[in-house]
């Protein structure tokens, strides 16, 4: 475990490898109106969700021309990674593969192999620890190797989860500092400078069952004690939420202008049947409740909110719609000033941090940079880490973990 400013100088969890290519793995998104429903069918495959229900989500994409911004963002990130690798003298081309839309991960692996590559290091566009952010990528890689017949022919590893790497955290701090200056200037111009500000750190909600499977909960309990949060407050009892709380504290520590402001962790983008519990509170509910609790005038009245999209790497549809559209509309209906700070995207510090992780796994960089209470995350996940049992009772093959179909353990 590290101090809030230190690094873990321990060795990596597996032998350093001179990888000959990098795979940027992401979620994927539609490129036009005709792609929207097929894309959503891919995302929800096996769940039996009718097209009528998918069309409810499709409206988010259709309102933006049927195009998800994530694709251009990944193209830009790929180019930035290639530039940074080249500047450091690392000869490793960057390929791109998605879980749910073209270019798909299996086709990316086939291209890698056809181009003569044999040792591939994967970077996923998800920073935290849970099934959908980490294990599902490892499953898709494992199943892709099997479906393409490349098991034993192509070695594929994945960088550690990087939620607490300085390269991921510092762009959020920079954005928060700028956002505070902007919203304070706006409120001053409106004569509301005395009103309260609140910072919402927003991330994707996940089922509570996935949160419970996400990792060593004693660390979450320790963080809860450090932050002074009451048991259960902000769902800090699970590692997924606790990681976000720790990153929020690290962001705030870097922004003196935020000292004394209230803040909270909130969730967004809930999906699935209503009877399945997901992490709460939803950002819109939290905003409404907070505004109603600040009746009065002057410094006791809530005047504005800043939203830091702490759970996201880029400004994709769930940021553009759930925050820039729905959360903004909620703030406007409550008479609140609203600012949403940027995601890391292609910020030079973020890109540099990702290449630091590549160099770390290649044995070219001493130490394992991490801030906060968790320390550098594992290079190789435990076999049952973030486990999700399929409907047929099996566990899917993965890379950097178990690699065969096995029956799930009884719990």
**Higher pLDDT residue, 232 or 107?**
107
Check: CB of residue 282 under 8 Å from CB of residue 268: yes
pLDDT for residue 226 is more than 70: no
Which residues are 22's β-sheet partners? 94, 121
d(CA 308, CA 248): 9
pLDDT of residue 409: 31
Mean pLDDT in residue range 323-352: 98
The architecture CATH gives domain 7-162+348-407? 3-Layer(aba) Sandwich (3.40)
**Higher pLDDT residue, 297 or 327?**
327
Domain segments of the chain: what residues? 7-162+348-407, 166-340
Check: CB of residue 354 under 8 Å from CB of residue 167: yes
Check: CB of residue 8 under 8 Å from CB of residue 148: no
Mean pLDDT in residue range 180-194: 95
d(CA 94, CA 89): 14
**Higher pLDDT residue, 210 or 76?**
76
Say which range, 85-94, 98-107, 225-234, 310-319, has the weakest mean pLDDT.
225-234
- The residues, any chain, with a CB within 8 Å of residue 357's CB and separated by 6 or more, are 123, 159, 160, 162, 165
pLDDT of residue 298: 56
d(CA 134, CA 14): 18
Q: Considering the chain, what is the average pLDDT of its residues?
A: 87
Say which range, 103-117, 192-206, 218-232, 388-402, has the weakest mean pLDDT.
218-232
pLDDT for residue 16 is more than 70: no
Model pLDDT for residues 52-76, shown as the tens digit of each residue: 999 988 999 999 999 999 999 999 9
**Residue 231 confidence class, pLDDT cut points 50, 70, 90:** very low
pLDDT of residue 194: 85
**Residue 193 confidence class, pLDDT cut points 50, 70, 90:** confident
pLDDT for residue 382 is more than 80: no
pLDDT for residue 408 is more than 60: no
Main-chain dihedrals φ then ψ at residue 157, nearest 5 degrees: -120, 175
Q: What does the angle CA 387 – CA 389 – CA 390 come to, to the nearest 5 degrees?
A: 135
pLDDT for residue 248 is more than 80: yes
> Is domain 166-340 annotated with CATH 3.20.20.70?
no
**Higher pLDDT residue, 113 or 7?**
113
pLDDT of residue 82: 98
Model pLDDT for residues 271-283, shown as the tens digit of each residue: 877 888 999 999 9
Q: Which of 238, 245, 247 is nearest to 220 (CA)?
A: 238
Mean pLDDT in residue range 244-266: 96
Mean pLDDT in residue range 188-206: 94
Percent of the chain's residues with pLDDT above 90: 71
pLDDT of residue 299: 62
**Higher pLDDT residue, 343 or 9?**
343
User: Does pTM top 0.85 for this prediction?
Assistant: yes
pLDDT of residue 110: 98
d(CA 229, CA 236): 8
Mean pLDDT in residue range 121-149: 96
Burial 304-314 (b: 16+ CB within 10 A, else e): bbbbbbbbbbb
> Per the structure block, which two tokens stand in for 62?
């259709």
Same fold, 7-162+348-407 and 166-340: yes
Q: Which of 244, 203, 201, 254 is nearest to 374 (CA)?
A: 244
pLDDT for residue 199 is more than 60: yes
């Amino acid at each position: 475990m590290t101090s809030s400013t230190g690094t873990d100088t321990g060795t990596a969890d597996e032998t350093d490898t001179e990888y000959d290519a990098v795979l940027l793995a992401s979620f994927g998104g539609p490129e036009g109106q005709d792609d929207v429903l097929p894309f959503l069918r891919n995302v929800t495959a096996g769940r039996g969700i009718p097209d009528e229900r998918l069309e409810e989500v499709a409206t988010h994409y259709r309102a933006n021309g049927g195009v998800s911004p994530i694709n251009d963002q990944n193209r830009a990130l790929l180019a930035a990674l290639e530039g940074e690798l080249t500047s450091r003298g690392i000869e490793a081309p960057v390929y791109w593969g998605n879980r749910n839309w073209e270019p798909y991960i299996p086709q990316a692996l086939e291209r890698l192999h056809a181009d003569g590559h044999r040792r591939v290091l994967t970077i996923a566009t998800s920073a935290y620890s849970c099934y959908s952010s980490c294990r599902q990528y490892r499953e898709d890689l494992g199943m892709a190797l099997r479906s393409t017949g490349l098991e034993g022919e192509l070695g594929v590893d994945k960088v550690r989860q990087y939620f607490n790497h300085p390269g991921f955290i510092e762009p959020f701090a920079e954005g928060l500092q700028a956002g505070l200056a902007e919203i304070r200037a706006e409120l001053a111009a409106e004569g509301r400078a005395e009103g309260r500000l609140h910072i919402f750190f927003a991330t994707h909600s996940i089922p509570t069952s996935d949160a419970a499977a996400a990792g060593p909960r004693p660390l979450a309990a320790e963080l809860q004690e450090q932050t002074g949060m009451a048991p259960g407050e902000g769902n800090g009892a699970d590692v997924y939420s606790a990681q976000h709380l720790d990153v929020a504290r690290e962001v705030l520590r870097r922004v003196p202008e935020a000292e004394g402001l209230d803040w909270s962790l909130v969730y967004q983008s809930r999906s699935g049947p209503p009877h399945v519990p997901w992490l709460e509170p939803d950002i819109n509910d939290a905003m409404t409740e907070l505004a109603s609790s600040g009746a009065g005038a002057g410094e006791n009245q809530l005047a504005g909110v800043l939203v830091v999209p702490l759970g996201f790497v880029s400004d994709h549809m769930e940021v553009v719609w759930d925050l820039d559209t729905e959360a903004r509309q909620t703030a406007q209906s409550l008479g609140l000033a609203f600012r949403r700070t940027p995601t890391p995207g292609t910020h030079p510090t973020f890109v540099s941090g990702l290449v630091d992780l590549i160099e770390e796994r290649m044995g070219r960089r001493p130490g394992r940079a991490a801030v906060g209470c968790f320390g550098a995350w594992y290079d190789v996940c435990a076999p049952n880490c973030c486990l999700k049992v399929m409907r047929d009772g099996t566990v899917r093959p993965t890379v950097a973990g178990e690699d065969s179909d096995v029956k799930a353990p009884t719990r």
